[in-house]
Amino acid sequence: MGKPKALLTIGDRPILSWLIERFQWPGPTLLVTAPAIVRPPGSEFFSAETSDPVDGNGPLQGVHTGLAAATTEIVVFTTVDMPNLDRPKLQWLIDQLGGHAGVMCRHGEQVEPFPCVLRKSLIPRVERRLSEGRRSVYGLGAEPDVLTPDAPASWPTETWLNLNQPEDLAGFRPSAG
């Protein structure tokens, strides 16, 4: 993208502000940032912010940081570059959790690492994966107590949009559902 994704804007709004409004989350919200991007625009709309203690370990480090800092046993993880997620989709994931340690969706044949719902009880396994150099969040989907159901057919294809290139952002139009 040419700059950190937390610094993107949608229209004239910081992406973080836009996302937090879209989620309309009723509970605490935690923003996990990279060490070099503390307090990005829109971060003030989150209940709390924490920064990864290690730079360059990828999204699994962010998951570890988020689980460790969370004030709740169950944590919903999204990424800043998936702007078509919304509260009903996140709630659907929570509703699937039951007694499992986590939930990630299948979209076609692919298990999608985000969005996901994880319990704090996964912290030791996340630490083990990091220490072994296995930094893929996707790999958590192989854990025996992480559920990977098919995403609802009603979720539009745009749900899975990632803003990875400038043209992705330029062509972005919010999904209605």
Is the full-model pTM beyond 0.85? Answer: yes
Digitized pLDDT (tens) for each residue of the chain, 177 residues in all: 678 899 988 888 999 999 999 999 999 999 999 888 889 999 999 999 999 998 888 899 999 999 999 999 999 999 999 999 999 999 999 999 999 999 999 998 999 999 999 999 999 999 999 999 999 999 999 999 999 999 999 999 889 989 988 888 888 877 665
Number of domains forming the structure of the chain: 1
159 assigned to some structural domain: yes
Q: Can you give the CATH number for the domain in which 152 is found?
A: 3.90.550.10
pLDDT score, position 177: 57
Please report how many Cα atoms fall inside a 13 Å half-sphere around the Cα of residue 67, on the Cβ side: 21
177 assigned to some structural domain: no
48 assigned to some structural domain: yes
Of the candidates 167, 26, 16, the residue with the CA atom closest to the CA atom of residue 83: 16
175 assigned to some structural domain: no
Among all chains, which residue has been given the structure tokens 């992480």?
A: 146
176 assigned to some structural domain: no
How far is CA 152 from its chain centroid?
Answer: 18
Among all chains, which residue has been given the structure tokens 């990091």?
A: 130
108 assigned to some structural domain: yes
Domain containing 155 equals: 5-170
